[in-house]
Structure formats: C-alpha cells, structure tokens
Amino acid sequence: MNPETIIESVEFLKHKGITAPEVGIVLGTGLGQLLNEITIESEVHYNHIPHFPLATVEFHEGKLVYGTLQGKKVVVMQGRFHLYEGYDFTDITYPIRVMHGLGIQKLLISNAAGAINTSYRKGDLMLLDDHINLQGGSPLAFKNVAAFGERFVDMSTPYDTQMRTSLISLATKHDITLHQGVYASVVGPQLETRAEYRFLKIIGADAVGMSTVPEVIVANHLKLPVVAVSVLTDECDPDNLKPVSVTEIIAVASKAEPKMITLFKELIEVL
C-alpha cells in the first residue's frame, strides 16, 4: 500500500460526486435502514472504486453512499470488509483511509455483536469504551506505514470522549438502554465455543464481534475521532448457551436498529 493509491481512490470518488463529507458512517451486519433517512446524492459500488479490495460474490451489495443527514454531509459504508472473507488488515481498513482522504472529520461505527456480559440482553445497545484485539494482527503492521503516519500509535483513549458523552446523554433523553463496555474482536466466521465465551468474560470483554477494532486502530492512526456502537444480537452465556444462526443475528440487529439510528442522527445534528 502507498499513499498514491488512496489519492487515486479519493479523486475517483470526488468525480462521482462525493465531494465534501463531514462525517463517515460504517453500517454493520443487518444495519442498513439508516440509509432510508439520508437524502442521497451519490452511490458508488465498492467494486467500481479503484484500489478498493475486490468484492467477493456475497459482497456485491457493498457500496459507498453520499448525501445529507440532519443537515450534514455524510458518507456511509453500506457493508464492510471482514477478515473472515479472506481479506487482510490493510484491505479491511482501506475504506477508512479513503473516507479520511475525502475529508471526514468524525467516524461513527456500528456492528452486530454477541453479549458476553450476562446482565446485557439481546436487542440492547452497547457503546464501546475500550476494546481487546484478538484478531492476531494489526492494520498498522506493514512496511511503509511511516508514509501514512506514526507507527506506534497511542491507544490510551481509542474512542472519542466528547462523542461518547453526547451519545450517553442522547440515550438518556430517549430512554434507550446504552451499556458501556469492552468489545473483543475475533476473526470468525465461526461463533465461539462455551470455553471461548468463558475466556472472553474472564479477560474483561463485555461483547464480542468480528469487526470494528482494525477500523478504530486506523482511525486513531489518522487522528480521526471515532465512536462505535454494538447492537447486541445474542446472549453468550456459557452455562446456558443456545445455538444461534446468522439469520437470527440479522433479524435481531434490524429490530434494534431504530434505536441506533435515533442516536446516530441526533449525534450528527449536535456535532
């Protein structure tokens, strides 16, 4: 990877009308309804963007959407790239660098995750206040990372305090349960065993999922303020574990999504 490829992707998107986004949004699995709230000006499929990772067959829906939300220009990733699809760390975080190149000042991330904390219920939301990277690698571990910024990025406050505080008060205002906890990222795509859920709980995780952490690391590398919200889709209690399917995870995610939409919309308004 080199900085010129990012510039080429950015220039292409500017020609497609994605000119001046202020906020970037990543929509997680089962979380697409936010797009209905946006006055759309431009849409570009990932596989048309130069240097974007080549989309897999199941991923043909992936696109960048540009438009206005609550009076602000936003660029939205409808669908993200995952390690479990065979991409590497630089692939899955490439779109974050491109959105930054387009000019976003803030990044809002969503994901579907399993609830490790047994006081959380499925359908609840969790605001990430920290994370544990269990994906066995880093999006900053590549040869010419120095051409993009410093290598040894500070991670003492990975999630933006001001946006977190705003989200917490918005949740209170709307009577939405918003837990605050630690997200552990795994590669997947298999879900976890009971022993793994037990381990995740012992090491201090409140939720587990297969994304987000690499994107947050790159946002910190770019000094781009970021917040992330998990929609909890299943309860990972090792002593009372029921089989869970992806269909069910997606169904719970879309049912809970309106709460996340309320929070993201109002956050964007006050940014």
Which residues on adjacent β-strands are paired with residue 227? Answer: 108
The minimum distance between CB 26 and ligand HPA, in angstroms, equals 15
The token pair that represents 225 in the structure block: 């303020």
Give the residue with the Cβ less far from ligand HPA, 66 or 183: 183
Give the residue with the Cβ less far from ligand HPA, 83 or 191: 191
Residue with the CB atom nearest ligand HPA in the bound state: 114
- The strand pair at 178-185 and 23-27 is best described as unpaired
Give the residue with the Cβ less far from ligand HPA, 18 or 210: 210
The minimum distance between CB 32 and ligand HPA, in angstroms, equals 16
Give the residue with the Cβ less far from ligand HPA, 75 or 128: 128
The minimum distance between CB 27 and ligand HPA, in angstroms, equals 14
Contacts with ligand HPA by CB under 6 A lie at 112-114, 191-192, 208-210, 233-234, 236, 249
Cβ–Cβ under 8 Å, residues 23 and 108:
yes
The minimum distance between CB 179 and ligand HPA, in angstroms, equals 15
Give the residue with the Cβ less far from ligand HPA, 98 or 213: 213
Angle (nearest 5°) at CA 226 between 252 and 264: 45
Distance CA 55, CA 86 (A): 11
Distance CA 76, CA 53 (A): 17
Over its C-alpha atoms, the chain yields an Rg (Å, rounded) of 18
The minimum distance between CB 162 and ligand HPA, in angstroms, equals 28
Distance CA 270, CA 263 (A): 11
